Amino acid sequence: MTVQYVLKEGQSILFYAEVETPMLDAMILLSEAREESKEKLLSSLPEAVSEKDYLRYRRLLDLRCSGQPVSYIRRRKEFYSLDFYVDERVLVPRPDTEILVEEALNTLHEMPLIRRLHDACTGSGCIAITLKHELPELEITASDKFPEVEEIFYLNSTKNLSFPLTFYLSDLLEDVPGNYDLITANPPYLKDTDVENMKKIGWPEPELALKGGLDGTTVAKRLIEQSVQKLYSGGFLLLEAAPDQMKDLMGAAESAGFREISIIKDLAGRERVFKARMHY
Ligand code: GLN
C-alpha cells in the first residue's frame, strides 16, 4: 500500500467518524507513524508504507476516532512557533491565547520599565514560557492550582528555554510571593453546565481547567480581586475570557480600582482578551 492510498483510507475513516478535518488529520497521523515531517510525507506519495508504520497509523486513527485530539495523540502542540508537550492533564494551547501573548508583548514594548511578570493558571506554561523566550531579560514566574501540571510546566520550560522557570503551586495568587508589573492568565472561563455537557459527549480536556462557575466568570473575578494586592500601581492585568463576559469583568475591574480597560479581539473578531491597568 502506498502513502497516497493509506492517506485516502485514513481520510475516509475519519470522515465517517465525523472528524472535522479528515485529510489534514490523516496526514498528521501518518507523519507521526512514519516519524517524518508532513512535507516529507507529501513528497513520498508513491512510496510503500511498511507494515509496522501502517499498524501504528491505524492505532493512531482509532484514537482520533474515539475523540482524542491530534495534539494529545502526538503529545505536542505548536504555540507561537514553540513546541509544547501536552497530555490530558492540561488544556491544548489555542491560537486565541497567542493574541494574549501578543498583547503582553505590545505592552512590554510600550513600557520598557516593566520587569516582573506572573502567569496564573499556567497549565502547559505556554504564556509564561513564550514570553520568557521572546524577552529573556524579564523576570517571569508561573503558578497553577493543580499539582499534576507542575511536571508538564517544567518539561516545557526546559524544552523551550533550556532551564526551568519558577513555578508556584497556588490557588490563583494566594501562595504566590512578591509583587508584579504584569499578571497574565487564561483562567477556566466556560460555564459549568457547558463543560458538563461537553464531558458527556467525551470532551478530553481536564474539566477543572475549563469550568469557570455558573456564568464562567468566577475564577476571572477572583483573580481581578487578588491582583489588586499583587500588582504594583500602574501594573497591568491581561486575561483571556469569553466575549459575553467582558462587560461583567469591566464592572468588576472598575470597582476593584482598575483603569484604562480595553478589550482585544481574537482572529475570528470575537472579544477575547481583557486588559486593565491598576490605578496609579
Ligand atoms: N478557549 C477554551 C474554549 O473555548 C476555554 C479555555 C478556558 O476555559 N480557559 O474551549
pLDDT value of residue 70? 96
pLDDT value of residue 38? 92
Ligand 1: distance of its center to the CA of 251 in Å?
Answer: 22
Percent of the chain with pLDDT over 70: 100
Neighbours of 162 (CB within 10 A): 7
The residue with cell 475516509 is 12
Determine contact, residues 249/239, Cβ cutoff 8 Å: yes
pLDDT value of residue 201? 87
pLDDT value of residue 63? 96
- What is the per-residue pLDDT across 88-129, written as a single tens digit (0 to 9) for each? 999 999 999 999 999 999 999 999 899 999 999 999 999 999
pLDDT value of residue 258? 98
Phi and psi for 91 in degrees, rounded to 5? Answer: -65, 150
Whole-number Å distance between alpha carbons of 260 and 53: 56
Percent of the chain with pLDDT over 90: 98
pTM over 0.85: yes
Ligand 1 closest atom vs CA 97: 1
pLDDT bucket at 280, cuts 50 / 70 / 90: confident
The residue with cell 459575553 is 244
What lines the ligand 1 site, CB under 6 Å?
91, 94, 96, 186, 188-190, 210
Task: List residues bridging with 263 in a β-sheet.
Answer: 274
Look over the chain and give the mean of its residue pLDDT values, rounded to a whole number: 97
pLDDT bucket at 219, cuts 50 / 70 / 90: very high
Report which secondary-structure segment, H or E, holds 176: none
Over residues 173-201, mean pLDDT: 97
Determine contact, residues 100/127, Cβ cutoff 8 Å: yes
Which of 71, 77, 86, 96 to mutate to test ligand 1, by most ligand atoms within 8 A of the CB atom? 96
Share of the chain residues as helix, strand and coil, in percent rounded to the nearest 5: 45, 20, 35
Which of 71, 77, 190, 207 to mutate to test ligand 1, by most ligand atoms within 8 A of the CB atom? 190
Report which protein residue has its CA nearest ligand 1's atom 7.
188
- What is the per-residue pLDDT across 189-206, written as a single tens digit (0 to 9) for each? 999 999 999 999 889 999
Domains of the chain: 3-74 (1.10.8.10), 77-278 (3.40.50.150)
pLDDT value of residue 47? 96
- What is the per-residue pLDDT across 84-93, written as a single tens digit (0 to 9) for each? 999 999 999 9
Neighbours of 10 (CB within 10 A): 25
Whole-number Å distance between alpha carbons of 216 and 29: 34
- What is the per-residue pLDDT across 40-73, written as a single tens digit (0 to 9) for each? 999 999 999 999 999 999 999 999 999 999 999 9
Over residues 246-267, mean pLDDT: 97
